Amino acid sequence: MRLESKKYLYDIAHAAASAMEFIGGKSFPDYTSDAMLRSAAERQLEIVGEALVQLSRTDAATASKISEHQRIIAFRNILIHGYAQIDHRIVWNVLELKLPIVRREAEALLSVGEQSS
């Protein structure tokens, strides 16, 4: 695996881990009432999405191994460009349900990439 691909996978895994740490022990009402928490978590989701954009441009085969990578990229675009219309329930669901999967997949791909280096 190319070094550039590993960098993007690292960024995905690291940003996902950060977002999950931010919301750890928090509830949806905690999330909706804390602007700084929402901003921090959304920023990490933006990083995950942007890293996937770059990975898909430089290594589409590896990007395709991340579940719903196209939807994650689309979600990143909504966060950045449709920021005024963000549904907090959808973001919360992504943080709780989808992000742990993406993190595991990125870490697994990094692990495989380390073994083949």
Q: Which domains does the chain have, with CATH numbers?
A: 3-115 (1.20.120)
pLDDT digit string (tens) for 42-92?
999 999 999 999 999 999 999 999 998 999 998 898 888 876 788 999 999
Asked whether residue 114 carries a pLDDT value surpassing 70, the answer given is: no
H helices within the chain, ranges in order?
3-23, 28-33, 35-58, 60-63, 69-81, 88-93, 99-115
Q: Whole-model pTM?
A: 0.91
Burial class (CB in 10 A: 0-12, 13-18, 19+), 34: middle
